[in-house]
Amino acid sequence: MTDYSRKKNIAAIVIVSSLGYFVDIYDLILFSVVRITSLKSLGITEQDLLPDGVLLLNMQMAGMLIGGIIWGILGDKKGRISVLFGSIFLYSLANITNGFVQDVHQYAVLRLIAGIGLAGELGAGVTLVSEVMSKESRGYGTMVVATVGILGAIAAAIISEAFDWRNAYFIGGGMGILLLLMRIGIYESGMYDSIKDAAVSKGNFLKLFTDKRLFKKYVHCISIGVPIWFIVGVLITFSPEFAKAFGIKESISTGKAIMFCYIGLATGDFLSGFLSQVLKTRKKIINLFIILETIFILVYLFFNWFDSAFLYVMCILLGISGGYWAVFVTNASEQFGTNIRATVTTTVPNFVRGAVVPATLMFQYLTPVTGIIYSGLIVGVLALSFAYYSVFHLEDTFGKDLNYLETHS
C-alpha cells in the first residue's frame, strides 16, 4: 500500500467509525426520548408505561452485553472490518423495523436485536483506528470518533421533536444504510492481518477471567468508566426528581437534561482527547476528569437550589467532566495485545453501560432510606472510589507500541 493509499484508508476508517458511532448514539438516545410516546401510541395504559419501559430497556441492555461479547470475539477471530460493518447493518435493520412495531412484544425483540448491533460498532472502530494510525497520533483519531459520535444524541433530541417516533426510527436506520455504502476502499488493520493466519489464540474471552494479570487490567479498564454512566444513568435521567428535592419549582425536562449533558460530553471528549495528545498522557487526563466529576457531582447534589437554568448548566458541566469516553476507550484498546484487543475494546464500554443497572437498583433501594440526594451521593462515591483506585493501578499507554500478542497464561 502506497503512503497516499494508507493515508486515504486511515481517513476513511476515522470517518466511517465516527459516523457509525453517531448513528449508534442516535439510536440509544432516540429510544430513551421516544419510549413513552411510542408506548402510548401502541395503546399502553398509564400504569403499564413504567413496567413495559423497564422491560424494553432491560432487553436493550441484555442485547448490548451479549453483543459486546459476540462482536468482540468475532473482531479478534474474523477481523475488525467485518464487525464494524456487521454491527452497523444489524442496528440499522433493527432501527428501520422498529418503525413498524405493533405491540410491546415485537418492540422488546427488536430492542434486543438493536442492542446486539449497537454493541459492536464503537469497539471495532476504536480498535481499527488505534491499529492503523501511528502510536503518537492515534489519540486524535479516537477523539474524533467519540466527539462526532456523541453529537448523535443531539441529533436524536432534535429529530424526535420534528418527526413522529416511527419516522425518527426510519431516519436512524436510513443513516446507517447510507453509511454502509461508504465501505468501499477501507482495508483491514495491518496489525490484525499479520496475525490472522498465525497459530495463536485469538478472541479468548475467558482468558480475561482466568489470567490474573489480564483480569486485573480488564476490571480496572471497566471501573474508570463507571462514573460517566452514573452521571447519565442516575443524575441526568432522574433530574426531574432531583429538582424537586432541590426545591426547584419549574418543570424539568429529562429530554433537555440529556441533550445538555451530551453537549457537555461532546465538548469534554474533544478536550480530553486533545489534552491527552498535547500532554502525551492518558492516565493523568483520566484522573483529571475524574476529579472534575467529583467536584461537579458534589455541586449538583448540594448547591443546586437555584432554578432550572442553573440545573441545565450543571447538566452541561457534568457532561464535560464525564467527557473522557474517548480516552477511556482508547486506554482499554492500548492495554491489551492484538489477539485480544477487539474483545476488550468492544466489551469494556458495554460492561460500563451495563453497570448502570446495579447503580440504578442501589440508588432506588437507598432513596426511601436516605433520601434521593444522599442516595445519589452514596452510589456516586462508590463509583468514583473504584475509578480512582483503578486509574492509579493502570499503566500510562500513550505512545505504546500495539504490535504485540497476549501469550502469558
The CATH number linked to 235 is 1.20.1250.20
Question: Would residue 342 count as lying in a domain?
Answer: yes
Region 369-392: mean pLDDT is 95
Q: Are residues 315 and 344 in the same domain?
A: yes
Question: Would residue 194 count as lying in a domain?
Answer: no
Neighbours of 262 (CB within 10 A): 26
Q: Are residues 132 and 212 in the same domain?
A: no
Q: Are residues 177 and 221 in the same domain?
A: no
DSSP secondary structure of 205-272:
TTHHHHSHHHHHHHHHHHHTTHHHHHIIIIIITTHHHHHHHHT--S---HHHHHHHHHHHHHHHHHHH
Question: Would residue 149 count as lying in a domain?
Answer: yes
Question: Would residue 134 count as lying in a domain?
Answer: yes
Q: Are residues 113 and 218 in the same domain?
A: no
Residues 49-85 have pLDDT tens digits of 777 877 888 888 888 889 999 999 998 988 888 888 8
**Which residues does 61 contact at the CB level (< 8 Å), separation at least 6?**
115, 353, 354, 356, 357
Mean confidence (pLDDT) of the chain: 89
Residues 9-48 have pLDDT tens digits of 788 888 888 988 898 889 888 887 888 888 889 998 888 8
Question: Would residue 126 count as lying in a domain?
Answer: yes
Q: What is the pLDDT of residue 183?
A: 64
Question: Would residue 91 count as lying in a domain?
Answer: yes
Report d(CA 394, CA 223) in Å as an integer: 11
Question: Would residue 402 count as lying in a domain?
Answer: no
Q: Are residues 64 and 108 in the same domain?
A: yes
| Full residue range of the structural domain in which residue 273 is found | 205-395
Question: Would residue 407 count as lying in a domain?
Answer: no
Q: Are residues 177 and 213 in the same domain?
A: no
242 in Cβ contact with 376 (< 8 Å): yes
Q: Are residues 211 and 180 in the same domain?
A: no
Q: How many domains does the chain have?
A: 2
Q: Are residues 102 and 1 in the same domain?
A: yes
Burial call 233-258: b when 16+ CB within 10 Å, e when fewer: bbbbbbbeebbebbebeeebebeebb
Q: Are residues 122 and 252 in the same domain?
A: no
Residues 251-304 have pLDDT tens digits of 888 878 888 999 999 899 999 999 999 999 999 999 999 999 999 999 999 987
Give CA angle at 78 (6, 338), nearest 5°: 65
**Which residues does 110 contact at the CB level (< 8 Å), separation at least 6?**
94, 97, 98, 101
142 in Cβ contact with 14 (< 8 Å): no
Q: What is the pLDDT of residue 185?
A: 63
DSSP secondary structure of 92-155:
HHHHHHHTT--SHHHHHHHHHHHHHHHHHHHHHHHHHHHHHS-TTTHHHHHHHHHHHHHHHHHH
Q: What is the pLDDT of residue 34?
A: 85
- Indicate whether 207 pLDDT > 80: yes
Q: Are residues 222 and 107 in the same domain?
A: no
Residues 86-118 have pLDDT tens digits of 898 999 999 999 999 999 999 999 999 999 998
Q: Are residues 176 and 257 in the same domain?
A: no
